[in-house]
Amino acid sequence: MAIVGLGPGPADWMTPEAGSAIAAASDIVGYGPYLERLSLKPAQRAHASDNRAEFDRGRLALMLAAEGRAVAVVSGGDPGVFAMAAAVFEAIEDMPTWRALDVSVVPGVSAMQAAAARLGAPLGHDFCAISLSDNLKPWWIVERRLKAAAEGDFVIAIYNPASKARPTRIVDAFDLMRGVKNAATPVAFARAVGRADEALTLTTLGAADPSLADMATLVIIGSSETRFIARDGAPPWMLTPRSYGAQR
Amino acid sequence: MAIVGLGPGPADWMTPEAGSAIAAASDIVGYGPYLERLSLKPAQRAHASDNRAEFDRGRLALMLAAEGRAVAVVSGGDPGVFAMAAAVFEAIEDMPTWRALDVSVVPGVSAMQAAAARLGAPLGHDFCAISLSDNLKPWWIVERRLKAAAEGDFVIAIYNPASKARPTRIVDAFDLMRGVKNAATPVAFARAVGRADEALTLTTLGAADPSLADMATLVIIGSSETRFIARDGAPPWMLTPRSYGAQR
């Protein structure tokens, strides 16, 4: 069984290993829109599921694999970064007989990396990745991590900034960040990178309207070293340099 | 000009976009061993340089691009993660005429993601990436970030744990971590993932011998939720679950 990262959207960002793993599978399990990206052969069976049912999807994939099917579980981005790999291994942990299955993870380009590529080099130095989803963790640990990330002066990449059920998590996060970081800190909202409706918004912590972030948005908040490089007739580049404290 | 991520080593982990960007270049600039991975056409010119000269390499690439050459700067892993993108944009920042050049970044699978794929799902939840290199930043900011990452109970991915000049940075980092995190915290040393000499070592913070880490090693230190899933006749999986505080 393979847990496969499709990358952020375009086929150009999917690795050959991911393509081979999907081609070799009899059964492909995943969130419906991810399955729609694939060109499956008539003999291949697609098992589409809702986006929120990650754990159930992992269990389904493992049940099929235990029956001897050649299974690929597909994930957008990298399956190891806020995606299917953890859900599958949680299911394996719960069911000792599944520990004997042959499971591999096929890495992919994550949404954070695609966003960074479009922006310049915002993750050019030490960074954190934090999901604001509080479906499976208490909000206090999100707050503790945001504060610690600010205290460490990391660049902060925020996944799942908002959901239909909780649209204001990112507003709460910005309120917290504004209390501890400089208002001039560069911020980027990168929406649907690699898709037709891709949109990049560059702003600052003080000026940002975080309520614009939706489920498809990746938010990057800079460190004290992050800056914009202005350009004529084009949006600025966002750079976090490799040096710290202007040692260069 | 394109700043291109080759992924961690095998061609199977290089995206089609990266392959196209290299094929379209007249001049390919990079660290020698990365250039050796590529099958260049006779008309393509390779500019090999030393690993440490990132800024000079970025300047060379920009000078060639300013002369009208079609340039690809290649990086191992993802150019946005402790690699060439930041060096190139620092050079652009220094030289206003270069801001008019057409520059794109082609993302790739990073070493951290390749290591995570081999280990299971160690980055399954919030995480930090920290480089221990103190060539361009003072050691106090590394210490501050390690402490903040522990305070936030992040999974910590450590790049550049040691160099020939400073082989003991990772030993200092472990000393610091042992003072603030549980000795039973799972730790992985992932060396040369995807290459012939790939080696994975699973241990705990208390039992680890950090002096084994070299320049080709990516170190992952778990959060309080990270655990090993034991298997018969195979190394355990490393899992950081999506839930926090056993809410699942």
pLDDT digits (tens, 9 = 90+) for A138-165: 999 999 999 999 999 999 999 999 988 8
- Closest CB to B86: pick one of A107, A109, A125: A125
**Alpha carbon distance A108, A22 (integer Å):** 13
pLDDT of residue A163: 84
pLDDT digits (tens, 9 = 90+) for A179-193: 999 999 999 999 999
Mutation site, A4, A113, A119, interface B, largest B CB count within 10 A: A113
Q: Do A116 and B107 touch (CB under 8 A)?
A: yes
Q: How far is B44 from chain A (nearest CA, A)?
A: 23
Q: Do B128 and A147 touch (CB under 8 A)?
A: no
Under the banding of pLDDT at 50, 70 and 90, the label for residue A15 is: very high
pLDDT of residue A166: 82
Residue of chain A minimizing CA distance to B231: A99
- Closest CB to A138: pick one of B118, B123, B245: B245
Residue-averaged pLDDT of chain A: 95
Q: How far is A109 from chain B (nearest CA, A)?
A: 5
A33 versus A109: the higher-pLDDT residue is A109
Q: Do A113 and B131 touch (CB under 8 A)?
A: no
Under the banding of pLDDT at 50, 70 and 90, the label for residue B247 is: very low
Residue numbers in B near A180 (CB within 8 A):
none
Q: How far is B147 from chain A (nearest CA, A)?
A: 8
Residue numbers in A near B160 (CB within 8 A):
none
Mutation site, B4, B17, B20, interface A, largest A CB count within 10 A: B17
pLDDT of residue A187: 98
pLDDT of residue B164: 83
Q: DSSP string of chain B? A: -EEEE-BSS-GGGS-HHHHHHHHT-SEEEEEHHHHHTS---TT-EEEEE-TT-HHHHHHHHHHHHHTT--EEEEESB-TTTTSHHHHHHHHHHH-GGGGGS--EEE----HHHHHHHHHEETTSS-EEEEE---SSS-HHHHHHHHHHHHHTT-EEEEE----SS-TTHHHHHHHHHHHHS-TT-EEEEEESTTSTT-EEEEEETTT--GGG--TTEEEEE--TT-EEEEETTEEEEEE--S-SSS--
Residue of chain B minimizing CA distance to A19: B12
Q: Do B245 and A141 touch (CB under 8 A)?
A: yes
Q: Do B243 and A113 touch (CB under 8 A)?
A: no
- Closest CB to B89: pick one of A89, A153, A239: A239
Q: Which residues share a beta bridge with B104?
A: B2
**Alpha carbon distance A178, A172 (integer Å):** 10
Backbone φ, ψ for residue B135 (5° rounding): -65, -40
pLDDT of residue A247: 46
Interface A-B: count of C-beta contacts within 8 A:
260
Residue of chain A minimizing CA distance to B11: A16
B147 versus B50: the higher-pLDDT residue is B147
- Closest CB to B154: pick one of A108, A113, A128: A128
Q: How far is A45 from chain B (nearest CA, A)?
A: 25
For the segment B151-167, the average pLDDT, to the nearest whole number, is 93
For the segment B118-136, the average pLDDT, to the nearest whole number, is 95
**Alpha carbon distance B180, B152 (integer Å):** 11
ipTM of the complex: 0.96
Is the pLDDT reported for residue A229 higher than 90? Answer: yes
Q: Do A113 and B107 touch (CB under 8 A)?
A: yes
pTM of the model: 0.97
pLDDT of residue A19: 97
Q: Do A86 and B239 touch (CB under 8 A)?
A: yes
Is the pLDDT reported for residue B248 higher than 50? Answer: no
A50 versus B28: the higher-pLDDT residue is B28
Residue numbers in B near A123 (CB within 8 A):
80-81
Residue numbers in A near B245 (CB within 8 A):
137-138, 141
Q: Do B138 and A93 touch (CB under 8 A)?
A: no
pLDDT digits (tens, 9 = 90+) for B23-69: 999 999 999 999 998 999 999 999 998 766 889 999 999 999 999 99
Kind of pairing, strands B120-121 and B234-239?
parallel
Q: Do B152 and A153 touch (CB under 8 A)?
A: no
* Radius of gyration (C-alpha) of chain A in whole angstroms: 19
Under the banding of pLDDT at 50, 70 and 90, the label for residue A53 is: confident
* Radius of gyration (C-alpha) of chain B in whole angstroms: 19
Cβ neighbours for B107, distance < 8 A, ≥ 6 positions apart: A13, A109, A113, A114, A116, A117, B5, B15, B78, B79, B80
Q: Do A244 and B138 touch (CB under 8 A)?
A: yes
Q: Token pair of B98, please?
A: 């270069």
Is the pLDDT reported for residue B152 higher than 70? Answer: yes
For the segment A116-145, the average pLDDT, to the nearest whole number, is 95
Q: Token pair of B8, please?
A: 């961690």
pLDDT of residue A245: 83
Residue of chain A minimizing CA distance to B4: A117
